Amino acid sequence: MNLSARLRLPLALVAVASIVIATLVAGLATEGYSQLRHPLAWLGAEQMGARGTLFGLFGFVLPGLIGAWIALELRPRLPADAGWAARIGAQLALLAALGFAAQGVLPLDLEAVDQGASRYHATAWLLWALAFPLGGGLLAAGLWQRTGWRGFAAFTALAALVVVACGFLGSSWIGAASAQRVAFAAWLGWGMLAAAAPLSRGAA
């Protein structure tokens, strides 16, 4: 097993730990902030100063860059006969991860949530929320019949559906804050499984 193979899963766990710890610490340090009512992006808003910058780094940038590396590492591990759908899907997963990271570089302006700098943050979020489900669908379609990859394909399709449902519909079901967290959790869970794929030694 080469070095990159040994690092993939630990780094995926670092991504999860980074966003969870950053969210808990920043949430406790921000007066009036509720994990049940407020989006994560508020913790990294321009008005939060240095504390917001740190949250953006550990809550979005680090997990996003790790996710991008995992997606980049996934493409050469795909079976040779996976076809164009799976390979384009992996590229879209990489693009989605970069969009996730960009949310930390382009923070919200709480005084102008629907304009100015906030629009760039919203664009980064939309890139993630569109590119990952589309990429996940293509990956699932391309890998469904491949030996050792069906479990990964099924989970990928499920994660893509969860991101679509929670990203665009969930706010009316469970509230925007909870829906966002479920969507992020689905994406982070996919990253851990992608780090371990393929699930069968004979499939590599």
pLDDT digits (tens, 9 = 90+) for 164-194: 999 888 777 788 889 999 999 999 999 999 9
- Give CA–CA dist 89/141, Å, rounded: 9
Mean pLDDT to the nearest integer, 138-143: 95
Q: Cβ neighbours of residue 165 under 8 Å, at least 6 residues apart? A: none
pLDDT digits (tens, 9 = 90+) for 99-117: 999 999 998 888 877 777 7
What residue type is assigned to position 116 of the chain? G
Q: Of the candidates 112, 98, 104, which has an alpha carbon nearest to the alpha carbon of residue 66?
A: 98
1 falls in which pLDDT band (50, 70, 90)?
Answer: low
Rg (CA), the chain: 17
**Domain spans of the chain, in order of start:** 3-203
- Give CA–CA dist 23/1, Å, rounded: 34
Tell me the pLDDT of the chain averaged across its residues.
91
User: Two tokens at 105?
Assistant: 């570089």
202 falls in which pLDDT band (50, 70, 90)?
Answer: very low
Q: Report the alpha-carbon angle 110-94-166, nearest 5.
A: 50
Task: Please give the pLDDT value at position 200.
Answer: 53
Q: Which of 14-28, 124-138, 152-166, 173-187 has the lowest mean pLDDT?
A: 173-187
pTM: 0.91
Percent of the chain at pLDDT exceeding 70: 97
Q: Cβ neighbours of residue 49 under 8 Å, at least 6 residues apart? A: none
- Give CA–CA dist 201/110, Å, rounded: 49
